[in-house]
Amino acid sequence: MLTGAPDLRRLLSTLTGESVPDFVADFSHAPGTRVVFGSGEVERTGVFARTMGSQRALVVTDRGIADAGHLDRVLQSLSAAGVEWSAFMGVVENPTTDTVDACVATARENQADLLIGLGGGSSMDTAKGCNFLLTNGGKMSDYHGTGRATRPMLPLIAIPTTAGTGSECQSYALISDAKTHAKMACGDKKAAARIAILDPDLTATVPTGVARVTGIDAIAHAVESAVSTRRTPVSTAYSRTAFSLLASAYQRVLDDPQDLEARSAMLLGAALAGVAIENSMLGAAHSSANPLTAHFGIVHGEAVAMMLPHVVQLNTTRPEALAEYARLGEPLGIGGDDFADFLTGILTKASLPLTTPAGTLTTEKIPQLATEAAAQWTAQFNPAPVDAAAFAELYGKVLPH
């Protein structure tokens, strides 16, 4: 061991000429997912499956992906490589424990030795959830948290068809309890995809309304991971690059859905934000969004979007967060103090709601949601400390007009 070596914080400050927050600590970075990017790469799915030794692959997807023709491309590739296949098409938005159980039954029936998550984050999360139960047994709640799988897991190929969750580059599955609707983040390094295939061609069929919601979720991932109290120099590099790609391409995709260059930037940016999350976690915007989805069925991306500017404004009270917002906004001419307003402008231009719908959130319901938000795992990583009282104040800003 070297003696007298500078600590990481002091070393980074010396090399970059910037002040480095106190919370930057030692870290380990070992990417578990190989990322393959490019138009037409989905045609190589079968080759990748074969190199993993697969003989029977299960494709986890939904009917909409099949109708768009994406499933056929994957199945044809598998057949051409001599890999037998079956398909589970019961994926739903915000997958539940019931969804995962049904997927596990299909995987067992077909003796799958490889899982392929094809679609949005829900497909990939369902595939990961299936992997936990198929290989380690038990129920989904047994894996709520990190590193609770004790046995090896099947290889997974992740093929996103939307630019949003970044689940293709994460080891977590977000699954809702079918009875309580509580969301469980179930993570294990073994659950991460071995390969993520990023083929921009697959995003060309995404409706503008879906792209609007998934895209803003990806932007939120970049913004929140950039200031997380667990951020590292590695995660920060991913967050900044992701935000640069996403912020420059988001409105372009909404204006011209056939802009392949912009779609490519969104897809790559979402994946990089996923890597950032894997190495730094999220914050209060996601903590407060989850109860809105659980109680009122507000789409996850919309819930995150309406909370994000208010959380950012709260975080500007922390000098290190304010400095990072300034760094993110610098190429766009946006200062740290104006970053929250900049995000609100993005939402307005994209026609995303700034408040909850009528008939959902009320003043009387805020205490319960605030308590639930404070108990969310990601709340602890927000740069500005948040408790139930802080969340109650945040919710008050998104009450229906």
- Nearest CA among 229, 251, 245 for reference residue 377: 229
Edge-to-edge strand order for the sheet containing 84-88? 34-37, 195-198, 156-160, 114-119, 56-60, 84-88
Q: Which residues pair with 262 in a beta bridge?
A: none
Residue 8: the pLDDT is 45
Residue 16: the pLDDT is 41
**Domain spans of the chain, in order of start:** 34-202, 206-396
Write out pLDDT tens, residues 380-390.
999 999 999 99
Size of the chain, expressed as the number of residues it contains: 401
- Nearest CA among 122, 54, 120, 63 for reference residue 88: 63
Same fold, 34-202 and 206-396: no
**Does 206-396 carry CATH code 1.20.1090.10?**
yes
**Residue found by looking up tokens 């231009």 in the block:** 349
- Spans of the chain below 50 pLDDT: 1-9, 11-17
* Packing angle of the helix pair 388-396, 300-315 (nearest 10 deg): 110
Architecture of domain 34-202: 3-Layer(aba) Sandwich (3.40)
Residue 227: the pLDDT is 98
Identify residue 359 by its one-letter amino acid code.
G
User: Could you tell me which residues come within 8 angstroms of residue 26 by beta carbon, excluding any fewer than 6 positions away?
Assistant: 8
- Nearest CA among 101, 103, 100, 76 for reference residue 88: 103
Residue 94: the pLDDT is 87
Residue 1: the pLDDT is 33
Edge-to-edge strand order for the sheet containing 183-187? 145-146, 183-187, 172-176
